[in-house]
Amino acid sequence: MIINRSKYSIKSLLVVTIILVMTGIAAADEWEDLASTPPMGWNSWNTFRLEINENLVKDIADMFVEMGFKDAGYEYIVIDDGWQIGRDDNGNILASKDKFPSGIKALSDYIHSKGLKFGIYSDAGTKTCGGFPGSRGYEFQDARQYAAWGVDYLKYDWCYTGNQSAPDCYRTMSEALKAAGRPIVFSICEWGTSKPWLWAKGIGNLWRTTFDIRPCWDCGKKVLSKGVQVENFIGFTKILDLQVGLESYAGPGHWNDPDMLEVGNGNLTLDENRAHFSLWSILAAPLMMGNDIRNMKAGILEILTNKEVIAVNQDVLGKQGVKVKDTGDLETWVKQLHDGSRAVVLFNRSEKSAEITVSWTEIGYPSKIKSFVRDLWQKKDMGTFRGGYKAEAPAHGVVMIKVMPVTK
Ligand code: GLA
């Protein structure tokens, strides 16, 4: 009898151990695979600022499915600053009842019911940039709350942080998220001031490299920061320039973040919007839409859902594209893809359309090689070319191609 019972318990112990090990492996994989390609989604900030509410966010989730964004690969719906209102007596973070009467869990459930993921925003300081409660001192409690709400993505800002150390603060929240036990993509938003590309791999999945983007070609607003004049609101071409040199720090699970998309916002022309989207794609940047996808001008949906351009961004090799030629107004950007092909953006910054030539040697191929070229905006096979390729890029615009060497 005793022998039988001990046999039974050894068996059940084994089963339990196997289950535990397998769950452990599954959980480890889920963390491992977080942001293995650049995150894609939508964030409320660029258009709605602090004016967010649950109906807006639910509409956006509906649009993801109805307009083909989900099908194109967009996944995360992130509410930025402005959802919080205060803390209760136990220190639990509270969402505004006016903006989110059904509560954050209900919103998260709604987003999940569409097969999408839900993201939220907080700040490493005492307050968010919009003046709402930050997570300073509440990191573990907030992380547990996010996990209980079913949060899948946290953007973590850097206002009201005084003399705090950025690596320490972001490490604390990273540990808090891990302790809470739910895989949550961790988006570091300290604007590049302490060079997060040098320390943030392993702490977060993406890190902002600059101050905030604005929906303009090259505007900028100078402010005084710690006694130094810096531009804190900048157009997309200025942000682009600041990405040069950061390429080697990006890879699967850890991305440079040149800020959210302004495609469809402000007075950007269609060519400028196409250029912005092509360049963010070739940079392997997170593709977080920032426009009102319920009301888009003609042409914007086609830009945001161009699957061939998105495939360049999402390529599994995870290489950030590099600028290989710059003649002042005309630039060539190249991204290595997993199948040996290259994506190339020919970027014309001038006010007139211009012919741009790319030689195969510039993109890392032997000069004599024959390559097949496909134009990703025209969605057209252009033929095979020996030595290189040239095309007319519109003013403030791009030509984006995929180049595949012909082996036979
Ligand atoms: C900072 C961030 C922005 C946005 C706002 C919210 O400026 O860089 O992306 O999150 O705060 O207040």
69 within 8 A of 63, measured Cβ to Cβ: yes
Whole-angstrom distance, CA of residue 235 vs CA of residue 320: 20
What is the pLDDT at residue 5? 44
- Measured from the CB, is residue 212 less than 6 Å from ligand 1? yes
Instruction: Report residue 288: phi and psi, to 5°.
Output: -105, 110
pLDDT tens, residue by residue, 28-83: 568 878 999 999 999 999 999 999 999 999 999 999 999 999 999 999 999 999 99
What is the pLDDT at residue 232? 83
Helix (H, G, I), strand (E, B) or coil at 224: strand
| H or E element in which residue 323 lies | strand 322-326
Encoding tokens for residue 4? 């039988």
- Measured from the CB, is residue 129 less than 6 Å from ligand 1? yes
Give the residue, by CA position, lying nearest to ligand 1 atom 1.
129
Ordered structural domains, the chain, with CATH: 56-318 (3.20.20.70), 323-405 (2.60.40.1180)
What is the pLDDT at residue 370? 97
| H or E element in which residue 208 lies | strand 206-208
What is the pLDDT at residue 23? 47
What is the pLDDT at residue 351? 98
Crossing angle between the packed helical segments 104-113 and 54-66, to the nearest 10 degrees: 10
Whole-angstrom distance, CA of residue 318 vs CA of residue 283: 10
What share of the chain in percent tops pLDDT 90? 88
Rg (CA), the chain: 23
Q: Measure 374 CA to ligand 1 centroid, in angstroms.
A: 38
Q: Which of 302, 256, 264, 384 is nearest to 72 (CA)?
A: 302
What's the whole-number average pLDDT of the chain?
Answer: 94
Give the residue, by CA position, lying nearest to ligand 1 atom 6.
81
- Measured from the CB, is residue 154 less than 6 Å from ligand 1? no
For 206, 221, 264, 293, the CA distances from 35, given in Å and listed in that order, are 8, 32, 25, 23
338 within 8 A of 388, measured Cβ to Cβ: no
Contacts of 343 (CB under 8 A, 6+ apart): 281, 282, 312, 315, 321, 334, 335, 337, 376, 400, 401, 402, 403
- Measured from the CB, is residue 213 less than 6 Å from ligand 1? no
Whole-angstrom distance, CA of residue 168 vs CA of residue 220: 30
Give the residue, by CA position, lying nearest to ligand 1 atom 3.
212
Which active-site residues does the annotation give?
157, 212
Secondary structure letter of residue 319 according to DSSP? P
What stretches in the chain show pLDDT beneath 70?
Answer: 1-29, 408
What is the pLDDT at residue 4? 46
Whole-angstrom distance, CA of residue 384 vs CA of residue 259: 36
pLDDT tens, residue by residue, 75-123: 999 999 999 999 999 999 999 999 999 999 999 999 999 999 999 999 9
What is the pLDDT at residue 15? 53
